[in-house]
Amino acid sequence: MTENKTQATQAEPADYLETIADTARRTDCQALNELMRRATGEPPVMWGSAIVGFGLHRYPLAGGKTGEICAVGFSSRAADIALYGLTGFDEAEPLLETLGKHKRGKGCVYLKRLADVDAGVLEQLVTQAFNSKKV
């Protein structure tokens, strides 16, 4: 069986957040860390070297095997903040329509700045996405 490339690590999420060079981006990611912690009730865990994740999502693979990844999470990328796990459940679309300025990719939501979105809607989206994937 091929092992999942992105796995939970023992690295400290706070250390990763401190490495974000842009002050505004670092502040946004620290606030997002607190928002996701509050919305999920879970502590942050590093997945790989650059994803701060919350909770655990198991998903089916071929041959009856399962994979694991964080239920929801985020990462500071070169152009945007990538949010993971916030799409693909019934209540996502209405919330995404009222979220504010964002882009979507395959399974991801991308933000330039946290101030571009409604924090209350984002927290509701995180909570519902997390609850839809509880193990």
Domain ranges in the chain are 13-132
Say whether pTM exceeds 0.75.
yes
pLDDT bucket at 62, cuts 50 / 70 / 90: confident
SS3 26: helix
In the predicted model, is pLDDT for residue 38 greater than 80?
Answer: yes
pLDDT bucket at 81, cuts 50 / 70 / 90: very high
Q: Are 72 and 89 in contact (CB under 8 A)?
A: no
pLDDT in tens, 9-36: 999 999 999 999 999 999 999 999 999 9
In the predicted model, is pLDDT for residue 100 greater than 90?
Answer: yes
In the predicted model, is pLDDT for residue 47 greater than 50?
Answer: yes
In the predicted model, is pLDDT for residue 71 greater than 50?
Answer: yes
CATH code, 13-132? 3.90.1150
For residue 130, which of 4, 41, 29, 12 has the smallest C-alpha distance? 41
